[in-house]
Structures are given as structure tokens and as C-alpha cells.
A = this chain, B = another copy of it.
Amino acid sequence: MYYNYFPTKKFQIYQIFSSNTNLGKTIFSTGLIRASIIKSQRNKNHYYLKPIQTGYPKDDDLRFVKTYLPEKFNNLIKLESLYKYEKAVSSHLATNNPIPKDEDVLNKIKGTISESYNESLKDGGRLFLETAGGVNSPIMSGTIQSEFYRALRLPIVLVGDSNLGGISTTISSYESLTLRGYDIPTLLLFNNERYNNHLFIEKYFNENQNSSIITPKIFTISLPPPKAENDLSDVKELKAYFDSNDEKFQAIISTLEEWHDNRFSRLDEMEEKAKEMVWWPFTQHNIVDGVNVIDSAYKDLLISYKDDSNLVETFDGSASWWTQGLGHGNSKLSLTASYASGRYGHILFPESIHEPSLSLSESLLDGVGKNWANRVFYSDNGSTAMEVALKMALTEKQPGDGKELLILGLEGSYHGDTIGVMNASIPSIYNKRVNWYSPKGVWFSPPQILMKDNTYRIFTNGDEVGRFDSLSEIFSESRVEKDRLSYHYKQKIEKQILDHLNQGDQFGALIMEPIVMGAGGMIFVDPLYQNQLIKSVRSMLNIPIIFDEVFTGFWRLGRQSGAEYLNVNPDIAAYAKLLTGGLCPLAVTLTNEQIFDKFLGNTKVDALLHGHSYTAHPIGCLVANTSINEYIDLFKNVWNKSREEWGDSDNEIFSVWSKSSVKKLSCLPNVNGVFALGTILSIELNDKSGGGYGSNVAKLFTEKLSHVERNSIDDFGIKTRPLGNVVYIMSSLISDEKSIRNIEKKIINCLSE
């Protein structure tokens, strides 16, 4: 079976949610199914799925639906219920032990939908999934429905509340669904003429049209006669009610069909339109193969639209450019963002303070900045945060002899794409075509660590110069005294600096990405080397040490920061990416009081004259604040198992990727080397053609990884963006163990074929 539980062009799915309990969900479902069967001229399969029923068998929604469908429809509809409970209370109270796990319930629903989909391949089908209670009523485990069903993000038929007070509950339930990213093409309710809620609600949604969110089309149906229990006359009456409302329901079905068709037409055109209108970053438009048309995303999965009209889940293997910490579609972050927006919007920052920026400042100075930083400067992305770092280091109170200051850095480093920070990177084919690029630095060639054949090896310019059995050995502080490389590194570094000083060069800062250089090719640098470099610079030159932690910050490597691994305090450090948990741009540059004091004076001219309009915007700050606290929790609780598996728990050096898989990979003949640290698994492939940005080996491998059969419910493709012949997979901080193990298996399989 091909697993598909999303709507396709030919297979429509609607989910019936309700603003409260007892508002007539099943009556509306019945009406919709009748109308849909009639409208489709009985040549499409129909499905009614009520995953959870309480009050059963006294109340049986399947029986109700069946009763009020014309008998001739009997063989055109399948009715299904997966969990039935006798007590007429909320599912979390009605359930028995053992309480079904969310994952199992979801898989059962996915399986049922998939079966229906497969039965309907030829003529198409319609599935109506009816929830229980209100939008935020819990299922058995206690997970509220709006959260539980988010994995499917089915289009919603929302049943509104026509009772006194129902305007409020209808709007609120609409808002609860919207903030979780659901689309609500229609809103149905009874036209209770005492309160006329339907008139108000119709007006409300008309006046509050939002060009970015589907505004539900409102339909009203007359109130039904009293619900039949077992009274035959009542059944008759209700049958007549349905007969008389069939046309109205057909109008609703038409609207849904139209919405569905428009949705897929739009999905069909998005690739071409994007190719015409958008200029993608870092992309050669002449060689774009396929465009990833993203319909939505949830947790680690991107849901994208493929040519065959299906929506397919793919693991977001580059964590969306290294931004994802807490998963896509995280409702806690959504609510946080909306609260900040609702309370403040953006506020001019100079000489102002608001709670989001103050609590984030406190959190950062007590976190990544602990014991060294005193000041937080806000900006919008890693590049601007590094520009700020440069300006902090390179601003002169009394301009000297006008000589240009150089920075010291590492080959393979990357600090962003604005021209100032470009000038802090070594010339390469990636910057030298920009006329204003003008390299201003001296760059050291750092030794790199990779595991090959179960052993970590240090390479300097391709030569192996050292071996280690474990990460703890690599990070052991005793290496400074015991490792013969220590002296060798020192000699070489200091000679190079001296040579430049003798040539008359003047330096302004040492800049580095601690431990792992990301964009430069996932280069795991020998920490001993970085430690020695810092020590030499601090002893020879009076210049600030700048850490670019844009990539390494916030538990990416299994620790709060790269600096923590080096046991070194920088003078200035920049952070971004994971800072906001993968939601929106925000960056910070932290520094100490000494750097800050350089800019004190009597006039504005002495100040750091840098700022962006949305500096410290409340949404970014508040979301960052929540994210960091979530990270701390995850680190304490969820990552324990990984720590144990790596056995380096004392030093807390570990990865979510298993040691055993890393070792297996290191022994494959087509792998030059591998390493895993924190969320990163990096594999350098053996590319005989020389590698580089256009590595073909990497391309073939990532194509294999992205492939998916969907013949099991746990099968998903993996989306990665290789860096030359280096393929890396990056988890978020919430990636579950099962997915991680699946991915490891898939990687090993693909490389062993």
C-alpha cells in the first residue's frame, strides 16, 4: 500500500471541527455526505471517519449518518470508527487503560485514510473526518484535538455556535485553529433566529477579510427538529429535514470543491511562478532542477507538493538552513509570537526597554554570555551581528596612522554575505567577483578532525598528524601539556604572526567559529589548535577575540555554545539562527564592558553608530526567550539517552546520532571521514572527481536520500543540501529517536548500495 493521508486532486478530505460540543457536527456531516454523493453522481467513493466516539453505543454517530442517508447510498459509503467508549464524557475521561498513545492513534487514522485513498485511485473519493467535542477538547491521552490533528492539517469545516454566547466561542475556536496553521474554507451553523449569531458572524468575517488567510465562507442551515432517539416518527421528521436541506448542503459542497480545486491549481502553478519571479539566495537559476513547493511543515517534516498531485513528507535534514530548534508549526512559539505582536508590535529601541528585550538580555547574559559578557547589542541576522562585532573591534576613538587593520582568521571560515564580513574571509571563487570585496586579513590553515575506520584522525593539509579513540580525548584539557601537537601548533602560529608584524601589518581582531566551521564545509577543527591560537594572540597582541557562534550557538553541538567546548571566553560573540527556535530573524552581539567603554564619550559621535529599524523587535525577543528555555529543558531531559549512549556523559560531549552508526559510516569505502557532534552528522564522501561545490557523488547520494516509497507509515525522504562533497544531516532539538535511527539506517543503506 502507498501511504497517503493528505488530500490529493482526486481525493478530497475535510475535517469537521466544532466550536463547542453539541452543536450538530454529525447533522452537518450527514448533510455534507448526502450532498456530496448526490453531487458526484454516485461515482466517487465516500468515507465517514469518526476516529473517537464516546457515549457509545447509546450515541453512535455512524448509525446516525447511516440512518439518514438514502438506502441506495449504502454501498457508496464506508463508515468507520476507531475508538469507542461508553461514557458520555470527554475522551480523556471515557478512555480505559492502557490509554492509547497519540502516535498509535494517529497511525491508525493515517492507515484508515490511506486505505480509503488507495480504494479511490481510479474515480476519486471524499473523506469526512469528524472530531469529538470542541476544537480544543482532549483526546484520550489528554492532547487537545487542534494539536493532535495538526500533523495532517486537513482543511476544516468549522461548525459554529448559534446559541447565546456562541459568537464568542465561534470566533475563539476559529482563532485557535488559525494560530495552528489550519485552513478553514467554510463555517456552518444553524440559523437560530432568537440570537441571529449567523448574521453577526457572517458580517464579522466579511469585515475582517485577511488577504493572507482563508476567510471562511459562512453557510447557515435551519435548526433541525429534535434529535431522534429510537422514535420512528422522529426519524421520519429528520429524514424530511435532510431531504429539504439537500440543496443547501450541495451549495456547501460546491464551495468546498471549488476551494479544493483552487488549492491544487495554485499548487500546480507555484513552481513555474516561483521560477519566474523569485531570485533565490545562493542559487544558480540555470541549474535549478525541481522546486520544492512547500504546502506546510510540521515538526521535522516539510510537506511538499509533487507532480503526481500528492503531498509528501520529507525530513528537513538541514534544519531549514540551521534555524530549526523546536520544529515547524510549534504552537507554543505561534502563541508567543502572536502575544508579542498583540501586546507591542514593534517598538523603537534606542533608549527604550520592553519586557521581551530585557528578559532576553538577562537570559543571554546568564547563558551563552555567562562569566564574560555584560552587554547585548541586537540586530537581524548573523551577518549583521558579525558586522556589529567588527565595528566594535575596529572603531577607533582616535584614528591612528590611517593604516588598515587586518583580522586574523581561519581558512574555511564564513561570517556572512554583507561586504564588511565578506572582507573578513579569505579570497575564494565565492567572493572575488564582487568588485568591492577586498580581503583584509591573515588566515591560518586549521587542522581538521574526522573519524575514519573507527578512529578519529587529525589532518593538517591532508596529512594525518594524530589519532584519538574518543571525543573526550580530543577535548581533554590535558592535551595542552601532553599532546606533542600543542608545541607544534604554537610554533607555527607565532611564527606566522611575527612575520606579519615584521612586515608592518597591524591587527584588529581574531575572528573564529569555535569547533565547527559550518558553511565552509562542516569542518571539525582541532580544539587544541583553536585554544593555542587564542592563547598566542592574547599573549602577543592586544586585540579582541571574536567568536562567530551564529552556527554553533544554542546546543547545536550539544552544548550551549562552542566557547564552552574551548573553555575560553571571547571578548565579542555573535549569535543568530537557533536563537529564535526557527521562527524569524533575530541576532545578537554580546560583549564585555571593556569593549563597551571604548564607545563612551560626550557626544553621539563617540557611540557605536549602528542600528536597524527592527532592532530588538518584541516578537523575535519573546520567541527567543521561550526557545532558549525550551532548549534548556530538552537538554536536561530529552538528550539524556544520547549522552548515555556516547558514554562521554562526564564531559557531556555527545551527539543525537548514535556512536555505532557513526562508526559504521567511518568504515565505508566511499566515505573519507565522518563526525557527529550534538545535532550534526557530517559525512565527507570520497569524490574522485575532486569534490568542490559541484560534487556529483554528493548529488547522487542526496538524491537517493530524498527518495521515498511510502510503503510503510514511517517512511520519509530526507532533504539535504550538500556542501561540496560533504553531506550533513542536522536534526532539530526535538527530533525523536525513532526518526533519527531511521535516517541512520537509510544513510548507511544508501552508501552501501
Interchain CB contact under 8 A, B626 and A210: yes
**Closest B-chain residue to A21, C-beta based?**
B165
| CA distance in complex: A180, B423 (Å) | 44
The verdict on A56 contacting chain B, using a C-beta distance below 8 Å, is no
| CA distance in complex: A353, B383 (Å) | 23
Which residues on the B side are within 8 Å of A90 (C-beta)? 164, 167, 195, 200
Interchain CB contact under 8 A, B384 and A172: no
| CA distance in complex: A629, B22 (Å) | 38
Interchain CB contact under 8 A, A283 and B196: no
- Report the minimal beta-carbon distance from A609 to chain B, rounded to whole angstroms: 5
Interchain CB contact under 8 A, A212 and B625: yes
A134-B320 contact, Cβ under 8 Å, with A281-B611, A302-B347, A609-B282: no
- Report the minimal beta-carbon distance from A68 to chain B, rounded to whole angstroms: 23
Interchain CB contact under 8 A, B328 and A344: yes
Interchain CB contact under 8 A, B394 and A436: yes
Q: Which segment of A26-34, A232-240, A427-435, A493-501 sits at the interface?
A: A427-435
**Closest B-chain residue to A167, C-beta based?**
B137
Subset of 10 A-B contacts with CB under 8 Å: A134-B168, A181-B344, A210-B626, A282-B604, A293-B354, A381-B612, A382-B612, A390-B436, A404-B436, A419-B421
Interchain CB contact under 8 A, A208 and B288: no
- Report the minimal beta-carbon distance from A416 to chain B, rounded to whole angstroms: 8
The verdict on A335 contacting chain B, using a C-beta distance below 8 Å, is yes
A721-B614 contact, Cβ under 8 Å, with A169-B172, A179-B179, A384-B380: no
**8 A Cβ contacts from A140-196 to B:** 142, 144-145, 150, 153, 164-165, 167-173, 175-176, 178-182, 194-196
Which residues on the B side are within 8 Å of A376 (C-beta)? 277-279
A625-B291 contact, Cβ under 8 Å, with A20-B168, A345-B329, A610-B417: no
Interchain CB contact under 8 A, A395 and B612: no
The verdict on A198 contacting chain B, using a C-beta distance below 8 Å, is no
Which residues on the B side are within 8 Å of A330 (C-beta)? 341, 345
| CA distance in complex: A289, B602 (Å) | 13
Which residues on the B side are within 8 Å of A544 (C-beta)? none
The verdict on A711 contacting chain B, using a C-beta distance below 8 Å, is no
| CA distance in complex: A172, B358 (Å) | 29
The verdict on A591 contacting chain B, using a C-beta distance below 8 Å, is yes
Which residues on the B side are within 8 Å of A614 (C-beta)? 321, 323, 381, 584-585
The verdict on A338 contacting chain B, using a C-beta distance below 8 Å, is yes
Per a CB cutoff under 8 Å, which of B172, B213, B508 touches A173? B172
Which residues on the B side are within 8 Å of A203 (C-beta)? 142
The verdict on A218 contacting chain B, using a C-beta distance below 8 Å, is no
6 new A-B pairs (CB below 8 Å) besides A136-B167, A387-B419? A137-B167, A212-B622, A277-B376, A286-B600, A297-B343, A584-B617
Interchain CB contact under 8 A, A337 and B167: no
Interchain CB contact under 8 A, A168 and B164: no
**Closest B-chain residue to A93, C-beta based?**
B196
A396-B349 contact, Cβ under 8 Å, with A165-B133, A297-B344: no
Interchain CB contact under 8 A, A165 and B137: yes
Interchain CB contact under 8 A, A609 and B417: yes
Interchain CB contact under 8 A, B576 and A136: no
Interchain CB contact under 8 A, B278 and A353: yes
Interchain CB contact under 8 A, A270 and B358: yes
Interchain CB contact under 8 A, A342 and B169: no
The verdict on A11 contacting chain B, using a C-beta distance below 8 Å, is no
The verdict on A365 contacting chain B, using a C-beta distance below 8 Å, is yes
**8 A Cβ contacts from A271-293 to B:** 271, 273-274, 276-293
**Closest B-chain residue to A296, C-beta based?**
B343
- As a 0/1 sequence over residues 318 to 344 of chain A, the CB contacts with chain B under 8 angstroms (1 = contact) are 101111100111111111111111111
Interchain CB contact under 8 A, B292 and A352: yes
Interchain CB contact under 8 A, A136 and B171: yes
Per a CB cutoff under 8 Å, which of B285, B292, B423 touches A419? B423
| CA distance in complex: A182, B344 (Å) | 11
Which residues on the B side are within 8 Å of A223 (C-beta)? none
| CA distance in complex: A335, B599 (Å) | 41
